[in-house]
Amino acid sequence: MAAMWLLLYGLNAYWLTAVHKPKLSLRKQLVFPQLNPAREFQTAQAATSASPSSGAIAVNNFDNFEKFRLDKPLTNGFSSYVLAVDPPEHHAIALEDLPIVTVQLPIFNERYVSRRLVDAVCQMDYPRDRMQIQVLDDSIDDTQAILRETVQEYQNQGFWIEYVHRVNRSGFKAGALQDAMPLVVGNYIAIFDADFIPSVNWLKDTIRHYVESPDAKVAVVQTRWGHINSEYSLLTKLQSTGIDGHFAIEQQARSNNGYFLNFNGTAGIWNRQAIIDAGGWHADTLAEDMDLSYRAQLKGWQVVYDNDIVAPAELPVAMLAFKLQQFRWAKGSIQCAKKLIFQIWQADLSLPVKFQATMHLTGYSAHPLMLLLILLSIPLMLITPDDAIALRISFESIWSIFMLPATFGPPFLYFHAQRELYPKSWHRRLGRIFLLAVLGTGISWSNSRAVFAGLSNTGANFRRTPKFDIKHKSDRWENKAYKIPLDATATIELSLCIYSAIASGLAFSKGLYITLPFMVLYALSYGYVGGLTFWQHWQQSRN
């Protein structure tokens, strides 16, 4: 059963990759009888390259062409087509048409990056009298003083910026956002976490979705996360690869196909009325962003994802911080599943929408299933039937039939994301895709704990992910504040590494050569995650 459920997740990764592009129209350009498709592409390119302003993208090889979905296929000897991607008529929005936007910055103990965030927001190209900035500070350290001083500086310069401090952190981030709602002036609310650095044009680019389609029932516009420190270490490289796949493929597929998707907690703009209509921010899960997004969509609102607008952010550089972040996301999504899954299946929605919402909300349940498979591997291999061949057939069929397709689903998704986002350097990033499987498998113990925590209660004990203003490889973080205490998780991960190594040896001795690579992957994964956790903790303890 566990293997079948993992297979379902793997197959869904293939599906989302296949449908993530918006359906593009075709425009017939030339008619060349008896031409093969490859030559038709080349001819179309030659015909359009002289007039790039035509708005058509000619494709001269199948490698580039296969990324797009077509209304009808090219047929031999019929005609030549190019993708008709008429660029949207984006005109400058008149000053009087720009709505008032409230920018909310929820912050808790971020001494190293809080000033950076406020600076970036105040530098955004938007009229000062139409951009209300709320610094929602729950900090209990010197971040308070930093933010009070920063806000005062910008107030003196004429910015519409307010400092809001709560003594009682009730509801954590969700509580801060909900408590600030009576103070909101704008009809639209942009939200940024402390680790983000929005670009100068971000607000004007994103608000277009509301200004140009005022009658659309859009609850929130989510933009893609970028990375300011993706090249800092192997850990940040792997994180950026995973995040790229989530946004460029998963979120784009959900948005373009009418599936439910979520606001990712930051780098998006909400319609204030959608928040009110959905019941406001709730603090009963650790994923208040996903919770509100789904409640709004159940009320008939739409969540829009724009892959072309990017908001750079700082990735966690410490393994403990990364696992803490993943724990929070895993627990929160499972809490949302408990809270909303029955409402989704009772709602008047199509079966594909219900299915994709279920896969989305329960995605982290793959981790306890992965953990279960490795824990059962040795007992299953030790059960020796009378016929050794029967052992190979019965045991390896699990891995060949179920696990192989499931295993290659996510890499397939990440491959296409890298290829689309980095067309000139994607081939140099292939190694990251395979190593990402090591990281994802290695955190299965930590995320399994999160899943069971989400199933067992609805309480939300929020633990923030510390940021250290890390942008360059020369930047150091080990001697900075906000150290996360080491718990038993790393010890268990190293124990699982040893267990997986024993399973690898057992699989080899029994000739289970299809199973063997999976056992080795488990051993490497737990060794990397647990080992790096101990190594970084030791480095911090020296400072």
- Among residues 138, 195, 205, 306, the one annotated as catalytic is 138
What count of residues does the chain have?
A: 543
Cα–Cα distance measured from residue 393 to residue 395, given in angstroms and rounded to the nearest whole number = 6
Whether 289 is a known active-site residue: answer: yes
541 phi/psi in degrees, rounded to 5:
-65, -20
- Among residues 137, 205, 244, 289, the one annotated as catalytic is 289
Closest CA to 496 of 444, 423, 424: 444
Instruction: Decide if 340 contacts 257 (C-beta within 8 A).
Output: no
- Within a 10 A sphere around the Cβ of 513, how many other Cβ atoms? 11
Residues with Cβ < 8 Å from 357, sequence gap 6 or more?
A: 259, 260, 294, 341, 344, 349
Q: What tokens does 16 get?
A: 């989302």
**Taking the chain, what is the end-to-end CA distance rounded to the nearest angstrom?**
48
Q: What tokens does 432 get?
A: 């990251």
Instruction: Give how far Cα 309 sits from Cα of 90, 200, 259, 267, Å.
Output: 14, 12, 20, 10
Burial of 73 (0-12, 13-18, 19+ CB in 10 A): exposed
Strand ranges, E, within 166-301? 188-191, 218-227, 268-271
* Identity at 29, one-letter amino acid code: Q
459 phi/psi in degrees, rounded to 5:
-70, 150
Active site residues: 138, 289
